[in-house]
Amino acid sequence: MDARLAAELAAHDGSDEAFVEAMFRQVLRRPVDSEAEARALSKLTAGTLSRATLIHELATSEESVRVRELDDAVALGLAARARRERIRWLQAFPGTDERVIEIPWVLSRLRATGRVLEVGYAFAETAYLAALLRSGVELVGVDLVTRDVVGMEAVEADVRQLPFPDGSFDQVLLVSTLEHVGADNTVYGLEAAGADDTRSEALRELKRVLRRDGRLLVTVPLGEPGDHGWFRQEDERGWNELFSHAGFFVEEIEAYELQDEGWRAAPAFRPEGVRYGERGPAASAVLCAELSPGRLRRLITPTGLAVTVRRRARPIRHRRAGQ
């Protein structure tokens, strides 16, 4: 049969109900809600909406913009991981939150195999969680609440007191979560915590559950230091102090800033006047770091020093999320 005719016939296959459900899942990555479903079905029946127009409306909706931003971030990160490239100098459009930087940065550094702990998974972006589930690592998620995730061991616990033996993980992922530890988490439907700063307790506990040659990937909001109630922001010095007081060595670190033209790497970042929520929907700058618990041990091995030197002399690569 003529191939274009076959495609045209296939586009009208199946019931309208199945078509509407499939398009919502494909384009907006969610099931259709009952109100949207009833509206679409009545218009499809009346002939005032075609299947092509429904696809167009979904693909040009505001909701689909966020789906694209996150899908682009995941695609960039996972493709870099497959090439074994630790991407740096990321770029992303203005008006986006820091996930468009954090997600590709972390995914490109995700181990190929091994046991990986994701801390704060319960409210993580679904696209990021799905990327981790597709990555082939043995995934364990920990949070104060439980989210139903198939393919991952979900553990309800406080990151400051983890129910795992020493050295249980090859890698820990801490994406925009450290700043919330010990803060007022009522925004996530959880009980408010005390006013004490217990972020270093969390870091020490994560160091305990990491293998000696393991790695912690951490991303945090960057800028003028301040307690915002539901999270605490630091400048680069403040975060570095927390990392080193907990016994971590900074293997790699990169600051990003939301500027007029979008997200850009900021090697000479200055925190003055950089306040949360003033340049975009969330953080105005973000710090991405890879930490290791065993600096001295690695430096004294024959290849240890060479690895450190090579890491710091990696070639610069320019990438723009979504392009």
Ligand X SMILES: C[S@@+](CC[C@H](N)C(=O)[O-])C[C@H]1O[C@@H](n2cnc3c(N)ncnc32)[C@H](O)[C@@H]1O
Shortest distance in whole angstroms from residue 303 CB to ligand X: 33
Residue 124 within binding range of ligand X, rule CB under 6 A = yes
Shortest distance in whole angstroms from residue 275 CB to ligand X: 18
- β pairing state of 249-259 and 262-265: antiparallel
Residue 181 within binding range of ligand X, rule CB under 6 A = yes
Residue 89 within binding range of ligand X, rule CB under 6 A = no
Stretch of 170-178, 206-214, 254-262, 305-313 lying at the interface with ligand X (CB under 6 A): 170-178
Tell me, by CB under 6 A, how many residues bind ligand X: 20
User: DSSP character for 185?
Assistant: G
Please give the angle made by the CA atoms of 298, 302 and 305, to the nearest 5 degrees. Answer: 55
Residue 128 within binding range of ligand X, rule CB under 6 A = yes
Q: How far apart are CA 36 and CA 14, in angstroms?
A: 19
Supply 238's token pair: 């403040």
Stretch of 185-193, 221-229, 252-260, 313-321 lying at the interface with ligand X (CB under 6 A): 185-193
Give Cβ neighbours of residue 47 (< 8 Å, ≥ 6 apart). Answer: none
Among 69, 98, 125, 290, binds ligand X (CB under 6 A): 125
For residue 271, give the 3-state DSSP assignment.
Answer: coil
Shortest distance in whole angstroms from residue 187 CB to ligand X: 9
Among 89, 93, 123, 249, binds ligand X (CB under 6 A): 123
Shortest distance in whole angstroms from residue 177 CB to ligand X: 4
Shortest distance in whole angstroms from residue 60 CB to ligand X: 26
Residue 185 within binding range of ligand X, rule CB under 6 A = yes
Residue 220 within binding range of ligand X, rule CB under 6 A = no
Stretch of 4-12, 51-59, 153-161, 279-287 lying at the interface with ligand X (CB under 6 A): 153-161
Residue 120 within binding range of ligand X, rule CB under 6 A = yes
Among 188, 204, 211, 280, binds ligand X (CB under 6 A): 188
Residue 67 within binding range of ligand X, rule CB under 6 A = no
Give 319's strand partners. 90
Residue 122 within binding range of ligand X, rule CB under 6 A = yes
Euclidean distance between the first and the last CA atom of the chain, given in angstroms as a whole number: 37
Among 96, 176, 233, 292, binds ligand X (CB under 6 A): 176
Q: What burial class does residue 224 get, using C-beta atoms within 10 Å of its C-beta: 0-12 exposed, 13-18 middle, 19+ buried?
A: middle
Shortest distance in whole angstroms from residue 123 CB to ligand X: 4
Shortest distance in whole angstroms from residue 178 CB to ligand X: 9
Supply 311's token pair: 């890491």
Q: How far apart are CA 147 and CA 216, in angstroms?
A: 23
Residue 285 within binding range of ligand X, rule CB under 6 A = no
Q: Which residues of 265-297 are buried (b: 16+ CB within 10 A; e: fewer)?
A: bbeebebeebbbeebbeebbbbbbbbbbbbbee
Residue 233 within binding range of ligand X, rule CB under 6 A = no
Residue 269 within binding range of ligand X, rule CB under 6 A = no
Q: Quick one: which of 286, 177, 281, 302 has its CA closest to 234? A: 286
Q: Quick one: which of 81, 67, 68 has its CA closest to 116? A: 81
**Region label for 10, one of left (φ > 0), alpha (ψ between -120 and 50) or beta (otherwise):** alpha
Interface ranges with ligand X (CB under 6 A): 120, 122-125, 128, 143-145, 158-160, 175-177, 180-181, 185, 188, 190
